[in-house]
Amino acid sequence: MSAAQRDRADESPPRARRRGRLAAVAALALALVASPWWAPRALATLSFFRVRKVQVEGLRYLTSTDVVRLLRVDSAASVWDDLAPYERRVAEHSQVAKVEVARKLPATLVVRVEENLPTAFVPGPGGALRAVDERGRTLPIDPTRVAVDMPIVAQRGAQEDTALLQLLDTLRDADPRLFARLSEVRRSGRGELELQLTASPDLAPRGVLPVRAMADVTVGRLAEIYPVEQDLARRQLRAAEIDLRFRDQVIARLQ
């Protein structure tokens, strides 16, 4: 008798029967999937396909617990049930930009989420800061629960200033390094902006570098501060302010 034959002979009958049932169910599933439209309905009646796991992907600020709660999966739910209601329930959350629910046989739902990303903090009632996206929509992000590093738009009506919010959104995507340094931004009148960037104390007092720019400033124009900072550091000079308001010039006012 070969080793494989001895292993089969030693296998306990209950275990062998369980394997046989699983193989039979899998074969049935394959056959039904290739069958007409009524196949998923037939598969949904099998306990083998009851939802036992939810796999969530793509989260940044929401948690898997949040998403599972939104799904409201019934204890008798099958992976062959219609997935559209699950997608609608998750999509109702203001943090969710896009959601797709898929099946992973035999018993898993895979939820892929794309979130609305926060662009800035704006002052809310009582001075509390609220996270908003580039359209000024308030997002349900609790900074005490999840780390959020965003600039503050420190002005009245900041939530309605979508032009400024869209500039910040573009900066976050195009130059994440500069966006991460931006701690505060405000309009200063006459179509100008005042930005506060974190900087080395060797370059700027208190580690904050003020930057002045026109309201229509581009990401490329903001990036022109990099070589200026490098030059100042090489010469061991400290900057009180960098001014980008004048065309084709970057003016560094020194301490």
Residue 162 neighbours by CB distance under 10 Å:
16
Q: Higher pLDDT residue, 12 or 253?
A: 253
What lies within 8 Å, CB to CB, of 98 at 6+ separation is 91, 113, 114
Ordered domains of the chain (ranges, CATH): 3-115 (3.10.20.310), 120-254 (3.40.50.11690)
CA–CA distances in Å: residue 45 to residues 40, 42, 48, 52, 195: 9, 6, 9, 15, 61
Q: Are 139 and 95 in contact (CB under 8 A)?
A: yes
Q: Which of 136-145, 165-174, 230-239 has the lowest mean pLDDT?
A: 136-145
Quote the CA–CA distance of 4 and 208 in Å, as a whole number: 73
Instruction: Quick: pLDDT tens for 24-33.
Output: 555 555 555 5
Confidence of residue 58 (pLDDT cuts 50, 70, 90): very high
Quote the CA–CA distance of 57 and 108 in Å, as a whole number: 13
This prediction's pTM: 0.75
Instruction: Quick: pLDDT tens for 66-88.
Output: 999 999 999 899 999 999 999 99
Confidence of residue 254 (pLDDT cuts 50, 70, 90): very high
- Please say if the pLDDT value at position 3 is more than 50: no
Helical spans, DSSP H, in 46-109: 64-71, 84-91
- Please say if the pLDDT value at position 7 is more than 50: no
pLDDT of residue 33: 52
Angle 64-71/84-91 helices, nearest 10 degrees?
A: 120
pLDDT of residue 154: 87
Burial of 250 (0-12, 13-18, 19+ CB in 10 A): middle
Q: Could you tell me whether strands 208-214 and 129-132 are parallel, antiparallel, or unpaired per DSSP bridges?
A: unpaired
Burial of 230 (0-12, 13-18, 19+ CB in 10 A): exposed
Confidence of residue 1 (pLDDT cuts 50, 70, 90): low
- Please say if the pLDDT value at position 123 is more than 80: yes
Q: Higher pLDDT residue, 7 or 114?
A: 114
Instruction: Quick: pLDDT tens for 173-209.
Output: 999 999 999 999 999 978 999 999 999 888 988 899 9
Quote the CA–CA distance of 159 and 150 in Å, as a whole number: 14
Mean pLDDT of the chain: 86
